[in-house]
Amino acid sequence: MNPAASAAGIPRKIVMFAFDGAELLDVAGPLEAFATASALIGGPVPGYTVEIAAERPGMIRSASGLTIEAVSDFGAVRGVDTLLVAGGAAVVRACAQPQLVGVLKEQAGRARRVGSVCTGAMLLAEAGLLDGRRAVTHWNWCVRLARGYPAVRVERAPIYIADGHVWTSAGVTAGIDLALAMIEEDFGAPLALRVARELVMFLRRPGGQSQFGVDTGQPNPGRDETMRRLQALIIDQPDADLSVEALARHAAMSPRNFARVFKRETGSPPAEYVERARLAHARHLLESSGATVGAIAASSGFRSADVMRRAFLRYLQATPTDYRERFAANGEARRAAAPPTFNHP
C-alpha cells in the first residue's frame, strides 16, 4: 500500500497475525493504539482499520485462557499496510509449521511495513525476515533468538527497533510503544502524543527507549556444566573478583579459551555478563531496600557509585536514583533511603 494512502482517502490496514497461545496484550495493546489514533483523526475516512488474522478464522484461545476472534484467514488477507505478528511462548509451535512460515513470508512481501511484538520476532526470524537486521524481543528470549538465528543482529536493551521497514519490539507492553512510534511515523508526533495521553501512556518511556527487563537473574541453559556453575557464581557473588582471569582460574582454562567458551554457552562475553549480573543485583536492592546508592554499588561489585551510575545509563538510560523512584516497592525503599527530617520548634 502507498505510504500516503490515508492522505489519498484510503485507510491504512493494520493486520495482527495471532495464534492459539498468543499473549492477549500483544494482540490487543497495539491494535487499541491504532484504533484510538483513528478515532482521534475522525472524519469520514479512518486513519487506520484493524483486524486480527489467523490460520483459520474463528476463536483463538490466548495464553491467559481468554478468547479473541480472528475475522480473517491469514493467507487470504489482501491490501495490508502494516503486518504485525503477536508473541507468546506458543510461537515455538508456529515456527515449526513450514506452511505457515511460508504464508507469513508471502504476506510480508506484500506489506509496506512488518513488525512483531515480544516473541513474535521468533516467527519473523524463522521466515528469514530478520536476516541481516537489528532486532529485539523479550529480554528473556534474546539469547534464544540469537542462538537460533545467527544472521539476526539481536540487541537486548531497546524497547523497539525499526530496521528499514521491519520493526521488532520487546516484551508485551512494548508493543504499544511500537504502535505509538508507527503512528508518529505515519501522522506525526502530535497525534502519537494524543494517543499516548488517551491510553495514559508515555510517548517516550522514562529511561528512554530501553526495556528495564534486561537482566541476568539466573544461569542461561547450556551444555557445559562448568560454565553453568560459573554463571551461578557470578549471580550469587557479584562483589567477588569476577575478572576474566579469575573466572578462567575457576574453570581451569586459559583466559582466552575461557572467554571463547563462555560466550558460546551464554551468548555474552564474560565482562558483559558480569556487568549485567551486577546490574540485576543492584536493581533488586534499589527496588527492595533502603540502602544508599553507594552501599548498593559496593555490594553489587561496582568499583564506585559513579561506575554503577554509568552502567545504569548505558543499559537502562536511567540513573540508579531515577530507577529507585519508579520501581521501589510501595515507596518503602524510597522513604527508607531518604535522609531524615527534623521538626524544629
Query: For every one of its 345 residues, what pLDDT tens digit does the chain have, with 9 covering 90 and above?
Result: 444 454 456 899 999 999 999 999 999 999 999 999 999 998 888 899 999 999 999 999 999 999 999 999 999 999 999 999 999 999 999 999 999 999 999 999 999 999 999 999 999 999 999 999 999 999 889 989 999 999 999 988 788 999 999 999 998 899 999 999 999 999 999 999 999 999 988 766 643 455 655 556 556 655 788 998 999 999 999 999 999 999 999 999 999 999 999 998 888 899 999 999 999 999 989 988 999 999 999 999 999 999 999 999 888 878 999 888 877 764 444 444 444 333 332
Distances (CA, A) of 302 to 250, 318, 323: 21, 17, 17
CATH fold group of domain 12-198: Rossmann fold (3.40.50)
CATH 1.10.10.60, domain 225-336, yes or no: yes
Local structure of 284: helix, strand or coil: helix
User: Rounded distance, CA 107 to CA 55, Å?
Assistant: 13
Measured N-to-C along each axis, helices 255-266 and 270-288 cross at an angle, to the nearest 10 degrees, of 60
Residue-range domain boundaries for the chain: 12-198, 225-336
CA distance 286 to 291: 8
pTM for the predicted model, two decimal places = 0.68
Query: Which residue, 103, 122, 110, 105, is CA-closest to 54?
Result: 103
